[in-house]
Structure 1
């Protein structure tokens, strides 16, 4: 086993309640989730989440809980900050974008508490150098209804470009304002036996506009930290979207996991964060899990917690490399050089028609276009110069590759078709 597979920063300080044989072991006076008090028999309700977060916030000076939006049905979207508020390295956990995938949310909630109450020096040193941000429930309406989409049946994880949902807009503002070095997105998936049935799957940004060093760190997070950490805890792992032969382990076909810029792991890469998607298997693994849903639920959450161990180890051990990669990527756009990919992926080269080989200097927007898209551009953090009633969006900026994805008529999910400026 690689030396990088370390004891978790959290587990070093605390015996995680999820791993306890009985629901009341080792918890003391610390707040507990509905999932924990039921020993996995049910998921934490929204009201339980609210009381849990409020209790943690009151009990720990290193925790702050802020409301970052409101869903269509009036539920709060909340951001939890733990640790140094202005640290050089920021890790963002996004939980439950899909409302019917609850295991990541439970792992995030207990992680909030365990970091808040940790007293060991290793974790305290980590929190002095790291800002940990969590959105415990990114889709509260979907979680309440146990649906993939939000109250309007929109898949939030396909809304990170157009920002048509309150949930997508809130997450975009968090990424704009905090510029996380790592964006870790927790999901669940349904298996297809025998080709697609691992306990836990991961995938990095495949979008071709992700800077090479950021892409490399994302693969390192997946392959040298998260998957080995889950494996060390007894869970099988694989690559999301790739069916493999159960005997040889060779790829059979790709069924998901492309380079669409509107998916969070890809949006994160385009915005110069080390993105990672993590998917836990929903289906029971054994006859015992089939007979006892609580046992299946605990395994799902345990696999998420084990994978999170790897994410924290990655952040602690590679912070210098991570910060160098994300900082260089954020500065590279000011040089305004190189093509912009409108399609393809890191395992699927873009066709000539999917590549802007010689991008324009920028895009001009009419007054009507800017009125329709100005808020979204601002939420993305795109630099815009007003020109009379309209606007000009230069490519020479940190989010250089994002601009054509938003404003070029050839981009699959563009906000509007701006007028290319080729005068440079």
Structure 2
């Protein structure tokens, strides 16, 4: 007999999310006088996958869900350059920060469609919001009583409206999680700062390169070497032990994002993406002490039927994302204690202010010796002009500082975001914002 915890997890993934796995394939039945009020459906679902949910449909859908469920709250967390809202949906148990800034409870953040031309993750997120909001099965209710599910359903509304990778200014938001130059990245940084999610899950799509890069669903953990080791291990476990098996059980092939593999032997051939850049969300989240994972769905038609009917391709793209989400929710339920321990250990290590800081490299690409601060400075001193320039960014990340009499500031490393600070302020870092003066190196 399976352990009771395993049975509860199966109940969770087979209960609340089963509807989302089939909704896109099932036309709405005709209404009769005896038909109960149907659950809200997205534009994608009502069109049977023929088109993606519009901005207006998303707004109406979320408003309906929030009105119907007391476990859902929708907040506006920002505004794009073209005036579109950036929304955060909160479901289940709240997980506010304690007075000392440490997280309380278990929470997960879903970031959907940072790239506007990758809409399948957004559709999966919207369907998941609805199914968690309306779930009545005991396993899901128990899960939500102990877990805060945070969802940014459309992280790039202007790009989604234009069907472009970048935002209205052409910026790639997923290369802006360090500098926070875009309103979209600033909004997401504020969610990380204010809610301290223990897990960050980033939904994307990719175009394959046959025959080396053709899996239905790819995933990748934080490769940045400033990610605490226990956080990296839990991130890899999320990919290898939960998301990958869940996708395979649903009939999808899986692989590691950014790695071409030999079609016969499966051996790695070449790395084409997925490095340790600190400005990419999965890496930034890992550096900040959160378990993190990137998931990518294959976008091209796979069969003759999909080639003649794009809606089939669209449904398969969304269904593969939903299958992976089942793995995520099972992970959250089974690894609740391990996630909390890993994130707490990362915070403790940062506050101890010991150990190297890596300015380059990745977990599969050792850095050159001159890219490692073996004895990092105790602080960085900023003059008045430097501080004026970076103060909003430091505040958005949650970095603290001490004001100097002349209008500048000193930023100590002994704080929860210690691994991030040199990447922002050290002249030797690839994407530094200003060249602060090291103190006590």
Scaled by the length of structure 1, the TM-score of the pair is 0.97
SS of the residue 2:275 aligns to? coil
Q: How does 1:210-229 map to 2 (within 5 A)?
A: 210-229=227-246
Matched, 1:97 2:97: no
| C-alpha distance after superposition, 1:172-214 (max 9, x if no partner) | 0000001110000000000001100100000000000000000
Q: CA–CA distance in 2 between the matches of 1:114 and 1:408?
A: 45
SS of the residue 2:294 aligns to? strand
SS of the residue 2:223 aligns to? coil
Q: For 1:66, which of 51, 68, 75 is the aligned residue?
A: 75
Q: CA–CA distance in 2 between the matches of 1:80 and 1:59?
A: 14
Matched, 1:205 2:214: no
Matched, 1:334 2:343: no
| C-alpha distance after superposition, 1:336-384 (max 9, x if no partner) | 1111000000001111111111101100011111111001000011111
Aligned to 2:89: 80
Q: CA–CA distance in 1 between the matches of 2:250 and 2:40?
A: 25
Aligned to 2:176: 159
Q: For 1:274, which of 287, 291, 294 is the aligned residue?
A: 291
SS of the residue 2:12 aligns to? coil
| C-alpha distance after superposition, 1:124-179 (max 9, x if no partner) | 01001100000000000000000000000000000000000000000000000011
Q: CA–CA distance in 1 between the matches of 2:153 and 2:323?
A: 17
SS of the residue 1:9 aligns to? helix
Q: CA–CA distance in 1 between the matches of 2:370 and 2:235?
A: 28
Q: CA–CA distance in 2 between the matches of 1:93 and 1:22?
A: 25
Q: CA–CA distance in 2 between the matches of 1:15 and 1:132?
A: 18
Residues 15 and 135, structure 2, Cα contact 8 Å, conserved in 1: no
Residues 141 and 150, structure 1, Cα contact 8 Å, conserved in 2: yes
| C-alpha distance after superposition, 1:273-313 (max 9, x if no partner) | 00100000001111111111000000000000000000000
Aligned to 2:282: 265
Q: For 2:187, which of 145, 161, 170 is the aligned residue?
A: 170
Aligned to 1:23: 27
Q: For 1:408, which of 426, 429, 434 is the aligned residue?
A: 426
Deviation at 1:13, TM superposition (A): 4.0
Q: CA–CA distance in 1 between the matches of 2:36 and 2:308?
A: 28
- Against the structure 1 CA distance between its residues 334 and 18, is the aligned structure 2 distance closer, same or farther, given a 3 Å change threshold? closer
Q: CA–CA distance in 2 between the matches of 1:313 and 1:54?
A: 28
Deviation at 1:99, TM superposition (A): 0.1
Aligned to 2:336: 319
Q: CA–CA distance in 2 between the matches of 1:47 and 1:69?
A: 17
Scaled by the length of structure 2, the TM-score of the pair is 0.93
SS of the residue 1:401 aligns to? helix
- Against the structure 1 CA distance between its residues 27 and 96, is the aligned structure 2 distance closer, same or farther, given a 3 Å change threshold? farther
Q: How does 1:342-361 map to 2 (within 5 A)?
A: 342-361=359-378
Aligned to 1:114: 131
Q: For 2:14, which of 11, 14, 39 is the aligned residue?
A: 11
Q: CA–CA distance in 1 between the matches of 2:430 and 2:36?
A: 50
Q: How does 1:122-161 map to 2 (within 5 A)?
A: 122-161=139-178
SS of the residue 2:14 aligns to? coil
| C-alpha distance after superposition, 1:382-407 (max 9, x if no partner) | 11111121100001111111010000
Q: For 1:37, which of 46, 52, 72 is the aligned residue?
A: 46
Matched, 1:52 2:61: yes
Deviation at 1:62, TM superposition (A): 0.2
- Against the structure 1 CA distance between its residues 14 and 72, is the aligned structure 2 distance closer, same or farther, given a 3 Å change threshold? closer
Residues 10 and 114, structure 1, Cα contact 8 Å, conserved in 2: no
Q: CA–CA distance in 2 between the matches of 1:27 and 1:144?
A: 34
Q: CA–CA distance in 1 between the matches of 2:231 and 2:253?
A: 26
Deviation at 1:115, TM superposition (A): 0.2
Aligned to 2:440: 422
Q: For 2:391, which of 374, 393, 398 is the aligned residue?
A: 374
Aligned to 1:391: 409
Structure 2 gaps, min length 5? 30-34, 96-103
Deviation at 1:22, TM superposition (A): 2.6
